[in-house]
Amino acid sequence: MHTPHPRRVQVTGDMFHPHLPDRAHWAGRQRPGLAKSPFANPHPVDAGRKTPCPICGIRHTLAEAISLYRQHLDQNPDLVCLAAAVDVRFACRCPLDQPCHVDELLARADQVTVIALGDDRDTKFIVQTIAVSTGECSHGHGSCRKPGVIAVRNTIDQQHPTEVSTLRVTVCADHRDDAVRMRAAWEADARELQDPIKNAEFLASVGVTD
Ligand SMILES: [Zn+2]
Ligand SMILES: [Zn+2]
Ligand SMILES: [Zn+2]
């Protein structure tokens, strides 16, 4: 028996009269009464569909569709940040005792650290470690240059005004420790900025005064 992620819920009702549970975001493709979600799996499961997957041109089993969704998340780490930063549940049509792409999304979101500064700008630092297959190792001020295998990302997300920027450090298999250290340092910096005085100093140091 499959155990769904605690933030996953199920849309009920018939095809044309969907009922979305409270405080839930529809995480699927476009359906009658449900707008397409950015979190939808672009690789549909073939459950009596008229057409095969529009991307691959073949019909996917559930296991295949979920595996392709993992790749999609690898290529779109901002989706995982967004899922981690919003305080909603995620809904799909899948029965809760069956695997669903939403579980993959939320399992990854659980690995992300979200640190809200609680300031006027509603700043959040979102720190995550991702698998990569591009980029060069930055160890030794960029002298290593072996192929990158993991990257640490620090997304600074502000709402007032809306501004998002992402710092990223890529490392090779030999220098994974750098990624662990970088992540710990970024998280510690963000926690320090939860102190309003430190935050004001930080904003002044980057040229923001208000
Ligand atoms: Zn596909
Ligand atoms: Zn589903
Ligand atoms: Zn390296």
Looking at all shown ligands, the one closest to residue 173's CA atom is: 3
On whether both 134 and 179 belong to a single domain, the answer is yes
- 108 C-alpha to ligand 3 centroid (Å): 25
Looking at all shown ligands, the one closest to residue 57's CA atom is: 1
Query: Side-chain half-sphere of 37: how many Cα atoms within 13 Å?
Result: 21
* Residue 210 CA to its chain's centroid (Å): 31
In the chain, which ranges are E strands? Answer: 8-10, 24-26, 89-92, 113-116, 124-131, 150-159, 162-171
On whether both 59 and 120 belong to a single domain, the answer is no
Select the more confidently predicted residue: 49 or 98.
98
- As a whole number, mean pLDDT of residues 48-58 equals 91
Distance, in Å, from the CA atom of 23 to the CA atom of 44, rounded to the nearest integer, reads 25
How confident is the model over 21-47, as pLDDT tens digits?
A: 999 999 999 999 999 999 999 999 987
What's the predicted TM-score (pTM) here?
0.88
Looking at all shown ligands, the one closest to residue 11's CA atom is: 2
> What is the per-residue pLDDT for 173?
97
- As a whole number, mean pLDDT of residues 168-185 equals 96
> What is the per-residue pLDDT for 209?
67
Residue 178: what are its φ and ψ, rounded to 5°?
-60, -40
How confident is the model over 102-159, as pLDDT tens digits?
A: 999 999 999 999 999 988 889 999 999 999 999 999 999 989 999 999 999 999 999 9
- 61 C-alpha to ligand 1 centroid (Å): 10
On whether both 34 and 68 belong to a single domain, the answer is yes
Residue 183 belongs to domain spanning: 112-210
Strand partners of residue 100: none
On whether both 101 and 124 belong to a single domain, the answer is no
